[in-house]
Amino acid sequence: MACSDSAAASVFAVNCVISGNNCGTVVNLPCGGSLLSSIVSNNIGTGIGLDSGKVRNCLIVKNSGNGIYIRRWSGYNIEIENCTIANNGGIGVYDNVWYENISLPQYAANCIIYNNKGGNWFFLGTNIVYSNCCIIPIPTNFPGKPEGTGNITNAPLFANTNIGNYRLSANSPCVNTGTNQSWMTGAFDLDVKQRIRYGRVDMGAYERIYEGSIYKFH
């Protein structure tokens, strides 16, 4: 299917929970598709198959295959933003693309990509650019190709993955270490909480909210 096909470009899903399915690829995003503020978890197969398009504010965990499989051999936009991709049975982000047009956005930003059994990232051709991600090892690219910045390898310190809680603990190194983007103004995280709370966005699908003390004065 060509990326100019209007039917392909119209795929859009938001606020979905996609779990317990058994298929090769659970969510297919063709050219220009978007998956926003959704949970893709505990499926048998790859979580998301991405030809081109946008995956934002998503939790992609405990799928038996890869978290995201980028599969189009061409230079189209790939935008993976503020996602948590962890504990999948395959590779966190498997990049099967040799990009022909690097003028289009092709990146993962502010993501936590950690503890995936097959590895956290892999590429066959030109790697997408990872920036301000919690990922180990830090991704590299072919000489002369774009490299990302602001990545860290520290454990993300989730609240409690044993009960499926991938929010950030108070001492997580992912708190206030992302990079702010224009779409975040007035936007919300996966908990439908303000996307930027303390001046700088957190990595991953959730913003950390600090608990304070409440005082009553009489």
Measured distance CA(196)–CA(48) in Å, rounded: 26
pLDDT at 188 (0 to 100) = 96
Structural domain including 117 reads 6-158
Measured distance CA(97)–CA(69) in Å, rounded: 10
Around Cβ 86, how many Cβ atoms within 10 Å? 23
Q: Is residue 149 part of a domain?
A: yes
Q: Is residue 29 part of a domain?
A: yes
Q: Is residue 94 part of a domain?
A: yes
Number of independent structural domains in the chain: 1
Q: Is residue 166 part of a domain?
A: no
What's the predicted TM-score (pTM) here?
A: 0.91
Nearest 5 degrees, angle CA 16-CA 21-CA 23?
A: 120
pLDDT at 96 (0 to 100) = 87
Tell me the C-alpha to C-alpha distance, in Å, between residue 160 and each of 86, 118, 163, 166.
13, 22, 6, 7
pLDDT at 6 (0 to 100) = 42
**pLDDT per residue as tens, the chain (218 positions):** 334 444 444 578 999 999 999 988 999 988 778 999 999 999 999 999 998 889 999 999 999 999 999 987 555 789 999 999 999 999 999 998 776 666 678 899 999 999 999 999 999 888 899 999 999 999 998 888 888 999 999 999 999 999 999 999 999 999 999 999 999 999 999 999 999 988 999 999 999 987 653 333 44
Of all residues in the chain, what percent are helix, strand and coil, respectively (each to 5)? 5, 35, 60
Q: Is residue 193 part of a domain?
A: no
Q: Is residue 152 part of a domain?
A: yes
Q: Is residue 164 part of a domain?
A: no
pLDDT at 73 (0 to 100) = 57
Can the peptide bond before residue 137 be classed as cis, meaning omega within 30 degrees of 0?
yes
Measured distance CA(53)–CA(80) in Å, rounded: 8
pLDDT at 218 (0 to 100) = 44
Q: Is residue 26 part of a domain?
A: yes
pLDDT at 10 (0 to 100) = 54
